[in-house]
Chain A
Amino acid sequence: NAGVTQTPKFRVLKTGQSMTLLCAQDMNHEYMYWYRQDPGMGLRLIHYSVGEGTTAKGEVPDGYNVSRLKKQNFLLGLESAAPSQTSVYFCASSTPGTAQETQYFGPGTRLLVL
């Protein structure tokens, strides 16, 4: 099993450009999450999904949109990138519906917005 994979690994954008980050998991997990990691801030939840076709806002959702059209994929979109969105983005997934699930993380996408 590949676990959680993320595409791309690294990207440079200009302010105002758009892009989509792809997260894929092969563990049949129901829940998927997008976090951003910034120095001295830890990881903060952007959006999450509890199942195919459902999404919800996390702690820092502004400037991002997400979609979960297929159970195994969770897309994070930036419609108009801003320098404040320079960060490392991590996707995670977890086992269905119990309180004892563990989140498994992808390798991260490093995004630089100029």
Chain B
Amino acid sequence: AQSVSQHNHHVILSEAASLELGCNYSYGGTVNLFWYVQYPGQHLQLLLKYFSGDPLVKGIKGFEAEFIKSKFSFNLRKPSVQWSDTAEYFCAVIPYSGGGADGLTFGKGTHLIIQP
């Protein structure tokens, strides 16, 4: 079975700082990778996803992530964060071969707080 590890459970940054959230997964085959965001009191929204092709993917709100296959990593980045980026961020994977039937496997989440 696959698993996902997010390196930081809590991150506090000042506005305009750069952000990198780590995500590593374990699985022996091909996976699809996702980052979801959950703003306070809201449901999960898709930030970005990687299926194939260019390992650097861009998402909404200026976020990007880089898939490094050799490191089983899919780290999320943003050059300059804003107060409105305060949220919980989840990395998730799904095996390519399963066709989606097994559901997503999530990391435990990173709680990001941006200080004005």
Contact A42 B43 (CB under 8 A): no
Residues of B within 8 A of A45 (CB): 102-105
Of all chain B residues, which has the CB nearest A4?
B43
B4-26, CB < 8 A from A? 4, 9
Of all chain A residues, which has the CB nearest B96?
A99
A43 to B44, CA, bound (A): 10
Query: Smallest distance from the beta carbon of A94 to chain B beta carbons, Å?
Result: 5
A44 to B40, CA, bound (A): 19
Query: Smallest distance from the beta carbon of B26 to chain A beta carbons, Å?
Result: 15
Of all chain A residues, which has the CB nearest B4?
A42
Contact B106 A106 (CB under 8 A): no
Residue A2 is within 8 A (CB to CB) of chain B in the complex: no
Contact B100 A43 (CB under 8 A): no
Query: Smallest distance from the beta carbon of B37 to chain A beta carbons, Å?
Result: 11
Interface digits, A84-100 against B, CB 8 Å rule (1 contact, 0 not)?
Answer: 00000010101001111
Contact B43 A90 (CB under 8 A): yes
B71-116, CB < 8 A from A? 90, 92, 94, 96-109
Contact B108 A108 (CB under 8 A): no
Query: Smallest distance from the beta carbon of B60 to chain A beta carbons, Å?
Result: 13
Contact B43 A107 (CB under 8 A): yes
Contact B108 A42 (CB under 8 A): yes
Query: Smallest distance from the beta carbon of B52 to chain A beta carbons, Å?
Result: 8
| The one of B43, B49, B96, B102 that contacts A105, using a Cβ cutoff of 8 Å | B43
Contact A50 B101 (CB under 8 A): yes
Contact A48 B44 (CB under 8 A): no
A98 to B99, CA, bound (A): 5
Q: List 19 extra interface pairs beyond A98-B100, A99-B51, CB under 8 A.
A: A33-B103, A33-B104, A35-B103, A40-B108, A42-B106, A43-B104, A44-B106, A45-B103, A99-B96, A99-B97, A99-B98, A100-B32, A100-B51, A101-B100, A102-B34, A103-B104, A104-B46, A105-B43, A106-B43
Residues of A whose CB lies within 8 Å of any CB of B are: 31, 33, 35, 40-45, 48, 50, 56, 58, 90, 92, 94, 97-108
A selection of 7 A-B contacts at a CB cut-off of 8 Å is A42-B108, A43-B44, A43-B106, A48-B103, A90-B43, A105-B36, A106-B43
